Amino acid sequence: MKRYLLRRLARGLLILIGVSICSFVLADLARGDFFAEARLNSRISKETIAALREQYGLDRPILWRYAHWLASVFHGDWGFSLSYNMPVGPLLWARMQNTLLLTVSAMLLTWIAAIPLGVWIASTGARVNRLLSWSAVAMLMATPDLLVVLVLELIATHSGLLPLGGMISLEYSQMNVWDRVQDLARHLALPVTALVLSSAPAVVTHTVSAMRETLDSAFIRAANANGLRRGRLLFFHALPAAANPLISLFSLSLGALLSSSLIVESALGWPGLGRLMLEATLQRDGYVVIGVVMLSAAFLVCGTLIGDMLLYWADPRIRRE
């Protein structure tokens, strides 16, 4: 078990190195750099631009820059952001916390709501219930995320109960701890709802199909014949047996924790990684882009590893191999 884990971690590290090389080469292949736009500006002389490029090492060969970047990774700097004029590491760290606050709470809510709903839809005998809930889920699934955000904003504007964007109020720094938490929660409500509404349908449909198949199996019929109570049967006998596809889905969404909120962040002005990535790409702030790519890759590697561990824990048949 320990050896397996170590092997997986080593493989994850290799993947990350590969990703970093690929993103360096791709960033290098793209034309222009952070100072490309300054060249169009007639008031900035060519010499100034050349001096600036030399100062930040942009004129050096790619291997030198890669080695330099690797060294800065070990210092926790992760390169230097030209548009923010600060090391990438601390910048990413702060933004990542904001994004994770949003996506982790959305993910928790999604799973807490979607699993019981899926189990209920799969097990309900009444055709009307099934039809209604099923069409609601299908409709949500077909709605573009942006539309969901817009509708939520509309509701928020008309009710006036919730702030429309941003993460904190202007007076945040003067508030005591309890008020701060409340303020944060009020700002979280809108983007979290949008994320839950956009990600829950997939979880519900997966739960329904996995549960339907399991409820059809002989061992559930046997459990029924043994007179087990319905709730116990559904959640302690059928759900664990139906867990495999759900765990795979869970590990996928773990891997997407940093990228799933891109649209919502941009639309609602949440100061997270998604917006940072978008801005940095447009401004050709190379090291920031590479940093975000690396972080996303790291999450994906960890997500699949956690997913595999969960599968191992949940299914004794896998444990044998």
Partner 1 sequence: MDYYVDSKEPRSAIRNLSFSISPGEIVGVLGESGSGKSTLALALLGLLPGNARIRAGSVLFRGQDLLRLSHDDFRPYRGAVISLVFQEPAMALNPVMRAGDQISEVIRAHRHCSRTHRRELAQEALRGARLSTAPEIYSAYPHELSGGQQQRVMIAQALVCKPALLIADEPTSALDVTTQAEVLAYLKDSTTRLKAAILMITHDPTTLAGLADRVLVLHEGELVEYGSFANVSERPAHGYTRSVFSSIPKPPVTAIAHREEQSDVLIARRISKKYSGKRWLGKRDVQAVSDVSLTLRAGSTTGLVGESGCGKSTLARCLAAIERPDAGEVWVDGFDLFRLPSHELRERRRAVQLIFQNTAAALNPWLTLEEIVAEPLAISGLPLRQRRDQARALMEELGLPVSRSTHRPTELSGGQRQRLALARALAARPKILVLDEALSGLDLPVQAQITKLLKNLQESRALAYLLITHDLRTAGQISDNIAVMQTGKIVEYRSARELFSEPQHEQTRSLLNAIRSL
- Considering the complex, state which of residue 97 and residue 224 has its C-beta at the smaller distance from partner 1: 224
Report yes or no: 207 and 276 within 8 Å, Cβ to Cβ. no
CB of 27 to partner 1, least distance (A): 43
Q: How far apart are CA 197 and CA 136, in angstroms?
A: 11
Shortest CA distance to 32 belongs to which of 82, 105, 71?
82
- Considering the complex, state which of residue 165 and residue 245 has its C-beta at the smaller distance from partner 1: 245
- Considering the complex, state which of residue 106 and residue 115 has its C-beta at the smaller distance from partner 1: 115
Q: How far apart are CA 189 and CA 17, in angstroms?
A: 37
Residues 68-97 touching partner 1, rule: CB under 8 A, are none
CB of 137 to partner 1, least distance (A): 22
At 81, phi and psi to the nearest 5?
Answer: -90, 120
Report yes or no: 197 and 148 within 8 Å, Cβ to Cβ. yes
CB of 235 to partner 1, least distance (A): 12
CB of 6 to partner 1, least distance (A): 15
How is residue 25 written in tokens?
Answer: 């080469």
Shortest CA distance to 273 belongs to which of 261, 290, 286?
261
Is residue 2 near partner 1 by the rule CB under 8 A?
no
Is residue 43 near partner 1 by the rule CB under 8 A?
no
CB of 310 to partner 1, least distance (A): 13
Is residue 320 near partner 1 by the rule CB under 8 A?
yes
From residue 208 to residue 247, the character string flagging contacts with partner 1 as x (rule: CB under 8 A) and all else as - is ---------xxx-xxxxxxxxxx-x---xx--xx-x----
CB of 130 to partner 1, least distance (A): 12
- Class of residue 81 by CB neighbours under 10 A (exposed 0-12, middle 13-18, buried 19+): buried
From residue 121 to residue 140, the character string flagging contacts with partner 1 as x (rule: CB under 8 A) and all else as - is ----x---------------
Residues 242-301 touching partner 1, rule: CB under 8 A, are 243
Give the torsion sign (CA, 83, 25, 260, 252): negative
Shortest CA distance to 68 belongs to which of 285, 33, 297, 59?
59
- Considering the complex, state which of residue 160 and residue 227 has its C-beta at the smaller distance from partner 1: 227
Is residue 317 near partner 1 by the rule CB under 8 A?
yes
Give the binding-site size for partner 1 (rule: CB under 8 A): 28
Is residue 32 near partner 1 by the rule CB under 8 A?
no
Where along the sequence are the contacts to partner 1 (CB under 8 A)?
A: 1, 125, 217-219, 221-230, 232, 236-237, 240-241, 243, 314-317, 319-321
